[in-house]
Each structure stands twice: as C-alpha cells, then as structure tokens.
Structure 1
C-alpha cells in the first residue's frame, strides 16, 4: 500500500488506521488496494434508483491526475473530505489525495461540515446545500473563507447562493460530470474576476453535440473515449459550453423550445418555496409551460401577484400558463425532485 496521510498522520498499512474513526474511508481503501481492477460505484439516482457501476481504478487515477494538475494539488496540499465515499465525489477526493500524497482531513458528511473542522484547507469538494449552510453562520463562513479552492457539484447552484459566493475569498468552481465520466470533466468559475456561465474542459477533454444539441464528451484519458449525454447545451467551441437543460425536460410550446431549468434560474429569487417548471398538453400550443410550487394552494390574490411579477420578468412566450401546487413534492431515491405532475 502506498502511504496515505489522514488527519495529519501518515500510514503505510491499513491495519494502522482506526476504522471506527474513518469507517467509510477505510472501507474504500480496502477496496482500492484489493487485487481487482475496479471499485464499485453508484450512480446518483437522478432518474430512479441508484445503480451499481464498475469504475476502473486506472480511470480514477487518470481523472485524479487531471484535477490535481489544474488545482496544483501536491504533497503540501491539505484536502478536506466532507462527502460520503459511497459516491464518486467522495471516492475521488481520496484518490486525489493518494495520487498527490496530499494530506486528507476527514470530517463526517453533514449539512455544515465546517462546524466540525476549523483547520487550514487548500482544496475541498461540497454540494450546494453544504456551502449554503456554512455561509449561514459567521463562524463557519469565516472558516470557508480560509479554504483556497472549493469545487461545488451534485446539484445546481441557486442564484441566491451564487450571489453569496461573490463576497467570499475562496475560489469557487461549479463542476460538470457524472459517475460514468469518473467525476467532473469540466468546471466553471462561480466567483472572482473570471466568473461566467460557460463550463471549460479540463485535461484533454473535448466537447461536441449530437443532432439533439445534446453534449457529447470526448475523454481520451478514460478507457471509454466518448460519452453521449441528455444535456442540451450551447456549444461555444470544443473546449467550452453553456448548459441549458435536460433533453428529457424540454417543453416544445408552439414550436418554441423552453428549457425549464433556465426558467427556474430566472424565477428562483422571487419564489421562496421549492418549485419546478413542467408541461401540460395544450390544444393550441401542443405543450404549455406550468409552474408547480411545493405548498398548499394559494388564494387568488397571491397567485395574481406572482403572475404579474413573472410577466414583468420573462418574455411572453416563457411565462408559465398556470400555477399549480403539490405538497409535498415526490422525490427520487437520491432526494431529487420528480418533475412530473
């Protein structure tokens, strides 16, 4: 076994690590150093029950090297693992640390990981909920500000969180990737002078689109060289794209394609409850966009006020034709909202 540095201590044998302190980490390390060429991962469960998938160790190493090179992760780097190693994001933090011989600090996965940790960190990976919760209290917000680089993935970054990120000193990056691509293949700057919507490729990754305008990913560092996604994008060039939404969710309303996720980003600052945009059949338009809010039905006055606000915000063809209510929302196994009526 290669040396691994956990919580400030160096180990050369798995038996030296206290499994009660880092049970999931030790479990992954045992799998990593066994004779098999792969480890077992789980998909995110975005569209149903999470599925098991074999992840080649050589692919994980190749992915780790690309990220380590971009963020200049080396032996002097302090990394924070605050995600579960059951999923690809947590597994890859461990592999990056192993590959770079970096020091990996482990804190139990929680909505506020920096409540349990106050050390100096150079690189951390979090989901948006963790970042949002961390910024909600002065002490943990101060600790987040001391982290040099934070990659944020697993779910969309809300407009409100994006606004909050502009006031912290940590360099924050949104990630694009999936279990099948062995973590992220693209990043975007969420704050700082380079903040922008487009994602950019890392390593030798290249992008194209298919006849649906869905993203095709070319990954020469992985044994599977090409991945076709269901993500509709605006391709800028072979290294940059802007994400528009899922092909599964596109609404064709009177011949105009509406991207629910893009509309939701625009409406998010004005609706406090969880909500989503979906479609209903329409005799004239074919499909019409409708807004679904997680709440008990509102009275007419409140609905009228929101409709007026939306009409001021969106062009006429993007305005949802109805406001509906569903309480509570149905969710997938991984906690993502099922965007169907």
Structure 2
C-alpha cells in the first residue's frame, strides 16, 4: 500500500477522506494543489499524469506509475540521509515533476512539508532553515540578494538545485556553503533526478554520480543512456553529449545534440560556448544561430538588451579556454528578453526565432 499521510505546514492529514475534507476548507491555492495531488495519490488510479517543460520541443504528457515515483523518492531520501520529522521546503510548481516529487518524498519518509508560493524568494517569511530544499538557480540567485534569505539558504542541510544550469559564478558562491549543495541531473521521463554532483565543499566539481540503482552508458552518438528498472526506465537515450571519467561511473555534460550548431562542418555545442563566455558577459544571453550562405549556420550570440552594448573579445576568450577559434560568434543580436520556458530553461526555438527576426542596428556582425 502506498504511504498516505503527510504533514503540511504543521497539519497532519491522512487518507483519501482526510485529503478530501481538508480541500473543503483550504483557501491557499498552493496548499490546495498539494492536497489535490495527495487525493489522487490515494485514489485507485495506479498512474500520475506528468507534464514535460517543453525546453527542447512541444510539452507533452507522460504517465508515470506511482510505485515508480515512490522508488525514485526512495533513491533520493536514502542518498541524502533524510529522516522522519525533517522539514522539506516545497516552493516549486506542483504542475511539474520537481514539485510533485517533494511531496512524494515527504509521503515516503515522513518529512514535514513547508509550503511556500513558487517565487524568486522561497525563504521569504521563514524563521528557520528547512533540512531539505529543492530550488532552481533563479531562486538561489534571488535569495543571495537578501542577507536574511541567504542565511536561511546557507542553513539548509541538503539543498538540491535543478531545472537549469548552474553557472560558474553561482557555483563559486555555493562552494563556500557549509552544508551539502547538489546539482541534479534528470528529466520528467526519469521522474526527477537520477544523478547528483556536489557544488559545495572540497568535492565540488563538474562530475555527476548516478544514484543507486541507476546504470549509465554512452551511445554511439556520444550521448548519455540511462537504465533504471526500479523507476520503470528500462532504457532512455538522451540527447546530452557526455564524457565519463576514466575508470569511473561519474560523468559530465558537454551539451545537447540538438543544440549543436554545424557551422561550415565545425560542430559548436551551444551550451559549451555559453559556459566559456558566461563570466565575461555583462547581461543575460544565449548562443544560437543564423542562416549563412557559405557556412550553413553562423554562430550568433543573442543578448538581452534593448540597444546594442559592448561585448567581450570572444576570440581572446576562446584562446584562453583552449577552444577552437571557429567557435567565435559571427553575429550579435539584441532582444528585450531572452526567451525561456515556464520552468525557466532556455527556449531554444524561441531564442532562434528572435534572432532571425532581429532588424536594423539590433543585428550586428562581429
């Protein structure tokens, strides 16, 4: 039988009837979403309908077995050493797997859930640090802007960060945190994360380690293949280009196959180029492409600004980083806002479309 009892903001609710009764009187929208999920969890349907973020295509529905979600929760709870009575901050949307899995972990392990509205400031109004929290980078950055919120975030014993890349500047700050901070690797299809990499302490670095029960390999395309029967994933070949540490099951992500720009036969991973230049870019940006008669596609940097601004010396950066000079962006376009999905990931199709539509002095050759 699935666990059916949970502590939500200090109120213990159990069973299908308990969740139904709580829904009759609850007025907080976020708590209502948790209660609705728990009510369905207690029902006879063996599956939960999940929604992908749409970061690499059209959002879609996925039907996940509740037993598989429970197995995923168990892998995380055991890896992080979470115990009954530990507090868990829920500040991610319940529309997506990340928020739902916080609830499933709480149901499984007896965690006490603290429900906050999904916002840039998840620690606002709290008086003490939760034991466990799952955030996206945008929330981490915003919390660092307020001393009280930063102190609360630093006090989290097990902090996992996912949904988007953690840039080098943020990683340098997180390395100084006194407790465990992890970057997660996973997707809706794998029921949240299947691997973690440390962002804090002496072991902080680029390498992810799979959770127990997860087997990883490399496809003929150089992409990551995931096998995890316990979470109902016999085999998934991802579009992430990876490199395994020699003689180890640890891996690092170099970029996505579908985000590789073929420019005159040179393959340029957009994410890898973004990582290389990020520390010297003064404003938000993304790497994309524009059609080119000679090259097929020309590497382009899309910059969040309503007017042209000075950009760094990309050629010098590439030389310093030991990367090919052919990765240098040939064009810059300036847009009011870099396109993102609802979950905060780069909307690659929207980014490329905005680049193609740029006109006048908002489109420049480099």
Between the aligned partners of 2:288 and 2:270, the Cα distance in structure 1 is: 7
Post-superposition shift, 1:331?
A: 4.1
| C-alpha contact 2:243 2:252 (8 A) present in aligned 1 | yes
**Alignment partner for residue 7 of structure 1, among 6, 9, 27?**
9
Equivalent residues in 2 for 1:267-286, closer than 5 Å: 267-282=277-292, 285-286=295-296
Post-superposition shift, 1:318?
A: 2.6
Equivalent residues in 2 for 1:207-286, closer than 5 Å: 207-236=216-245, 239-282=249-292, 285-286=295-296
Between the aligned partners of 1:311 and 1:45, the Cα distance in structure 2 is: 31
The residue number in structure 1 matching 2:308 is 298
**TM-score normalised by structure 1 residue count:** 0.91
**Alignment partner for residue 86 of structure 1, among 95, 99, 116?**
95
Between the aligned partners of 1:48 and 1:311, the Cα distance in structure 2 is: 30
Secondary structure at the aligned position of 2:351 is classed as coil
Deviations 1:279-311 (A, max 9, x none): 344565554422221224426xx35x5456546
Between the aligned partners of 1:68 and 1:118, the Cα distance in structure 2 is: 24
The residue number in structure 1 matching 2:328 is 319
Equivalent residues in 2 for 1:25-44, closer than 5 Å: 25-44=34-53
How many residue pairs get aligned? The number is 338
Residues 297 and 57 of structure 1, relative CA distance in 2, 3 Å threshold: same
Equivalent residues in 2 for 1:1-341, closer than 5 Å: 2-12=4-14, 13-14=18-19, 15-16=21-22, 18-21=25-28, 22-236=31-245, 239-282=249-292, 285-298=295-308, 302-303=310-311, 306-307=313-314, 310=317, 313-314=320-321, 315=323, 316-332=325-341, 334-335=343-344, 336-337=346-347, 338-340=350-352, 341=355
Post-superposition shift, 1:79?
A: 1.2
Between the aligned partners of 2:193 and 2:221, the Cα distance in structure 1 is: 22
Between the aligned partners of 1:93 and 1:322, the Cα distance in structure 2 is: 42
Post-superposition shift, 1:195?
A: 0.5
Between the aligned partners of 1:298 and 1:120, the Cα distance in structure 2 is: 43
Between the aligned partners of 2:262 and 2:244, the Cα distance in structure 1 is: 21
Post-superposition shift, 1:333?
A: 5.1
- Which deviates more, 225-234 or 282-291? 282-291
- Which deviates more, 326-335 or 45-54? 326-335
| C-alpha contact 2:277 2:314 (8 A) present in aligned 1 | no
- Which deviates more, 245-254 or 326-335? 326-335
Post-superposition shift, 1:196?
A: 1.1
Residues 328 and 90 of structure 1, relative CA distance in 2, 3 Å threshold: closer
Post-superposition shift, 1:240?
A: 1.7
Secondary structure at the aligned position of 1:251 is classed as strand
**TM-score normalised by structure 2 residue count:** 0.85
Unaligned runs of 5+ in 2: 356-366
Between the aligned partners of 2:314 and 2:337, the Cα distance in structure 1 is: 22
Post-superposition shift, 1:99?
A: 0.5
Post-superposition shift, 1:317?
A: 2.9
- Structure with the largest fraction of helix: 2
Between the aligned partners of 1:232 and 1:287, the Cα distance in structure 2 is: 20
Q: Alpha carbon RMSD of aligned pairs, Å?
A: 2.2
Unaligned runs of 5+ in 1: none
Post-superposition shift, 1:247?
A: 0.5
The residue number in structure 1 matching 2:359 is none
